[in-house]
Structure 1
Amino acid sequence: MRILVYPHDLAVGGSQINAIDLAAGAQAAGHEVIVYGVPGPLTGYIAERGLRFLPASTTKYRPAPSRISELARIARRERIDLIHAYEWPPCLDAYYGAFLIFGVPVLCTVLSMSVSAQVPPSVPLIMGTEDLGREARARMAGPVWVIEPPIDVDRDNPSIDGQPFRTAHGIAGEDFLIVSVSRHALDLKLDSLVRAIDAVEMIGGQHRVVLALVGDGPARAALEERADGVNQRLGRRAIILCGQQLDPRGAYAAADLVVAMGSSALRTLAIGRPLIVQGEQAFSEIFEPATLTMFLNQGFYGLADDAPGAGRLAAQIERLVLDADLRRNLAEYGRQVVIQRFSLERALALQLEIYGEVIAMRSEKHVREAVKSGLRAVAVELDNHNPLAKRRKRLQALALLSAARSGRWPPTLDTGARG
């Protein structure tokens, strides 16, 4: 098979790394694979995995006629058998050109935490959780599969040495190190990062805990200011912002405990560290046998009651700080779960089967669904570029960042910044 893989962007993120790892696996299995996308920090990782990369032109809108035509030309020139697009904008770029004009099959993976209304209903779809898979099957006309975010359990393993990370950041051997590897973004991430900082402050007087935040993004300055306040009140360096690392395996390996969501949570388990899964609105749960079924259904993420403060998370951290045997048992248990359920080999075998099924399908072209999906996409873009909407979003972002710098969390925002 000749496959073109089109991630939604090439910034550092779990879903993008998953796409590249699966592409490399398909190539190793004997297929010809090209990765297409706007150049970004992960371009070097694509080269490291031995994959051919074709740069996409930059565009202001999604989907963009120039990108649609560019992708169609590539599909025809390279005799592509299948385009595997991740998230709805790349899906529509492939659908409106390569599929509608030349009949090139398109497969779309959606790892967002909702079923996208912009994806045409007949497009074959891969979702990232069982719950979302059931929801998509009820709404979509085409076939729907579930592939949970895969992990390379050979590359991510318990033998990785975490001491260089501790040494580089001045973290003593007696410090109980909590690690978060996450984009410092307002969407999805900010609530969990603020609550992690606050949880460490709550128990930092009784236990010598240190929180290392690995990552970067628009919320970094606000998080740094909040961290500085905690460090001053505790009289020690309890919160450390470490910046982005393209290969954060040493950070995971250095941890006594990791707080994470999504692919980062699964990498934690593969490397053999105990885990607290975070989400939004104060969600946090220890990964253990009692919570396994919940996470298999909803993914390694959740929503809770948005209770003020970080009391729930602080209590969960303290439980693990005080019980070394529990930490060791949960680390061993998590590694086994990942090997059995989330290994890259298992996901790759399933994905290659899906590729064969999609190529063999006689996908019909539906003008009505093409028009409807296009109108929905246009509505999203009009809102994104509407000056009033942009001003509202900017004010919401500023309000959230202001609240993240210090003080009560979550904030009470009349602007609807948390909506």
Structure 2
Amino acid sequence: MRLLVYPHDLSIGGSQINAIDLAAGAAASGHEVIVYGIPGPLVEYVAERKLRFIPARPLPYRPAPSRIAQIATIARQNRIDLIHAYEWPSCLDAYYGASLFLNVPLLCTVLSMDVMPYVPASVPLIMGTEDLGAQARKVQRSDVWVIEPPIDVERDNPNIDGSEFRRRHSVSAKDFLIVSVSRLALDLKLDALVRAIDAVDLLAGSHPLKLVLVGDGPAREALETRAKAVNLRHGRDVVLLPGAEMDPRAAYAAADLVVGMGSSALRALAIGRPLIVQGEEAFSEIFEPRTLGLFLKQGFYGLGDGWPGAQRLARQIEELVVDPARRTELRALGREVVTERFSLERAIDLQLGIYQQVLANPPRRRLADAARSARLALMLEFANHDPTRKQRRKARELAVLAAARSGRWPPEAVECGP
């Protein structure tokens, strides 16, 4: 097969890394693969995996007319057999040119935590959890499969040495190191990151804890301010934000405990670290036999009850701090589960089988689907660029960041006018 793989962008993120790893697996199986995307830090990772890369035009609109035309040209010139797009904006860029008018088969993977209404109902989908797969089947006429975020269990393994990471960040043998590897973003991430800082603040007077938040993003300055207040309160470095790392494996390996969600959580398990899965609205649960079924069903993420404060997470952390035998058991459990169910090799086999099914039974395209998706996407784009809405959204973001810098969390609802 000649494949065009289109991650939604090439900034550092789980969906993008999954797309590149699976593309490399398809190439290793003998298929011709081109990766197309808006340039970002992961261009280096594409090159490392020895994949051909074509940069996308950076027009900010979704869908983007220039990318629609560019993808159609690439598909025609390279005689592409199948386009695999990740997340709904990329899907629409590929759909409205190469797929709709050139009849190039299209497959879309959605790893966000919602079934997005913008994907045409005739486009075959891969979802990231069993729950989301069941929801998608209610609205899609096309086939829907589930492939959970894959992990390269050979590359991410318990033998990785984290000692240099600990030395670099002045973590002593007596320190209990908690690590989070995450985008420092407002959406999906900020609630978990603030609660991690606050939970360590609650425990640092009783235990020699250190929290290292590995990552970068628009919330970094606010989180650094909150972390500095914690460090000042305890008279030592309790919370550190060293920035993003292209290869964070040593950070995971250095940790006595990882807190996180999604692909980051799975990588921690593959490297043999105990894990507390975080989500939004105060969700947090220890990964253990009791919660295994929950995470296999809904993914390594969740929505909580919005309870204020970080006491729940602090209790869970303390349970593992004081029980090294339990941490040892959880290390073994996590490695076993990821190797058996989430391995990259297994996901590559599943995905190549899906490619064959899509090519053997290409879906019928319907103009009604195209019109509906275009209408919804354009309505969203107009809303995103409406000056009044942009002002309200900016005001909300500033209020949330102000709360993240200091004070109670979560912030109270922000009123910003009609």
- Asked if Structure 1 and Structure 2 have the same fold, meaning a TM-score greater than 0.5 normalized by the shorter chain, the answer is yes
Q: Could you tell me how far apart the structure 1 residues matched to 2:9 and 2:179 are? A: 25
Summarize the alignment of residues 116-135 of structure 1 with structure 2, pairs less than 5 Å apart. Answer: 116-135=116-135
Q: Match of 1:38?
A: 38
| Structure 1 alignment gaps of length 5 or more | none
Find the counterpart in structure 1 of residue 152 from structure 2.
152
Letter of the 1:291 partner, please give it: T
Correspondence 1:80-99 to 2 at 5 A: 80-99=80-99
1:186-226, CA deviations, whole angstroms, 9 ceiling, x for partnerless residues? 00000000000000010110000100000000000000000
Superposed CA deviations along residues 235-280 of structure 1, whole A, max 9, x for unmatched, are 1111011100000000000000000100000000000000000000
Map 1:81-230 to 2 at 5 A: 81-230=81-230
User: Are 1:195 and 1:309, in contact at CA under 8 Å, matched by a contact in 2?
Assistant: yes
Cα distance in 2 for partners of 1:411, 1:91 equals 35
Write the distance in 2 (CA, Å) between the matches of 1:166 and 1:416.
Answer: 44
In the alignment, the residues of structure 2 paired with residue 41 and residue 407 of structure 1 have an alpha-carbon distance, to the nearest angstrom, of 34
Measure, in 2, the Cα distance between the counterparts of 1:415 and 1:292.
39
- The C-alpha deviation readout for 1:392-413, integer Å capped at 9, x for no partner, is 1100100000000011000112
Q: Which has the higher mean CA deviation after the structures are superposed, 362-371 or 47-56? A: 362-371
Partners of 2:159 and 2:345 lie apart in 1 by 20
Amino acid at match of 2:390: K
| Cα distance, 1:415 vs structure 2 | 2.7
Q: Which amino acid aligns with 1:296?
A: L
Q: Does 1:340 align with 2:344?
A: no
| Shift of residue 169, structure 1, vs aligned partner | 1.1
When the two chains are superposed, the root-mean-square deviation of aligned CA atoms in Å is 0.9
Aligned AA for 1:146? V
User: Are positions 1:60 and 2:60 aligned together?
Assistant: yes
- Amino acid paired to 1:224: E
Q: Which amino acid aligns with 1:275?
A: L
**3-state SS of 2:101 partner:** helix
Q: Does 1:25 align with 2:21?
A: no
Report the equivalent of 1:413.
413
Query: Structure 2-normalised TM-score?
Result: 0.99
User: TM-score scaled to structure 1, two decimals?
Assistant: 0.99
Paired with 2:334 and 2:363, the residues of 1 have a C-alpha distance of: 40
Distance in 2 between residues matched to 1:335 and 1:220, nearest whole Å: 31
Conservation of the 8 A alpha-carbon contact between 2:35 and 2:54: yes
CA distance in 2, matches of 1:77, 1:146: 31
1:101 alignment partner, SS class: coil
Change (3 A) 1:348 1:382: same
Find the aligned partners of 1:326 and 1:363 in 2 and give their Cα distance.
50
Q: How many residues align?
A: 417
- 1:323 aligned partner: 323
Contact 2:142/2:363 (<8 A) preserved: no
Structure 2 residue identity aligned to 1:323 = D
After TM superposition, the runs of 4+ consecutive aligned structure 1 residues lying more than 4 A away are none
Q: Is there any run of 5+ residues in structure 2 with no aligned partner, and where?
A: none
Deviation at 1:363, TM superposition (A): 2.3
- Matching residue's letter, 1:157: N
Distance in 1 (alpha carbons) for counterparts of 2:54 and 2:403 = 41
CA contact (8 A) 2:160 2:250 kept: yes
- The aligned residue for residue 363 of structure 1 is 363
Tell me the equivalent position of 1:377: 377
Q: Which amino acid aligns with 1:396?
A: R
Counterpart AA for 2:378 = V
CA contact (8 A) 1:274 1:334 kept: yes
CA distance in 2, matches of 1:7, 1:341: 23
Distance 1:146 1:225 in 2: 40
CA contact (8 A) 1:189 1:280 kept: yes
Per-residue CA distance 1:117-166 (angstroms, 9 max, x = gap): 00000100000000000000011100000000000000000000000101
Shift of 1:416: 7.7
Amino acid across the alignment from 1:333 = L
Alignment check: 8 A CA contact 2:124 2:363 kept:
no
Letter in 1 for 2:78: E
Conservation of the 8 A alpha-carbon contact between 1:399 and 1:413: no
Identity percentage of aligned residues: 65
Q: Give 3-state SS (helix, strand or coil) of 2:84's partner.
A: strand
